[in-house]
């Protein structure tokens, strides 16, 4: 079943890339159409992360998956003696996530 899902994702990616190349002169040397292949979604059941995400979701354009990556890495690096410098943009959603965690 998983192999079939990968084949479907590959077909869709190839199909949409072809359509983009025809209609909008999509340069495949610079850009790529990608369908995310996430099957394991630990952020769905992480209560602490979902609480933090609910507080900052209107202040970010970063995907929930990427925010969970940031959250997971910050949990691994939090030893009490670390100093963090978060350089973000727009509304500060990722900084808010880190602030809520620490």
Q: What is the mean pLDDT of the chain?
A: 79
Tell me the pLDDT tens digit for each residue of 51-83: 989 998 898 888 888 899 988 888 887 777 777
In sequence order, what are the residues at sequence separation of 6 or more whose Cβ sits closer than 8 angstroms to the Cβ of residue 70? 62, 94, 97, 98
Above 70 in pLDDT, residue 44?
yes
CA angle, 99 then 61 then 11, to 5°: 130
Looking at residue 78, what is its pLDDT? Answer: 75
pLDDT at res. 50: 93
Model pTM greater than 0.85?
Answer: no
Distance (Å) of CA 88 to CA 53, 57, 93, 94: 16, 15, 8, 7
The SS3 assignment for 14 reads helix
- Enter the tokens of residue 42: 């630990």
The two three-digit tokens of residue 95, written as one number: 């900084």
């Amino acid at each position: 079943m998983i192999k079939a899902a990968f084949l479907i994702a590959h077909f869709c990616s190839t199909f949409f890339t072809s359509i983009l190349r025809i209609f909008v002169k999509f340069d495949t040397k610079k850009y790529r159409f990608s369908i995310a292949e996430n099957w394991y979604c630990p952020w769905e059941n992480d209560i602490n992360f979902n609480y933090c995400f609910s507080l900052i979701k209107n202040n970010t354009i970063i995907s929930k998956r990427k925010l969970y990556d940031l959250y997971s890495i910050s949990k691994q690096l939090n030893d009490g003696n670390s100093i963090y410098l978060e350089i973000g943009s727009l509304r500060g959603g990722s900084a808010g996530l880190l602030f809520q965690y620490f």
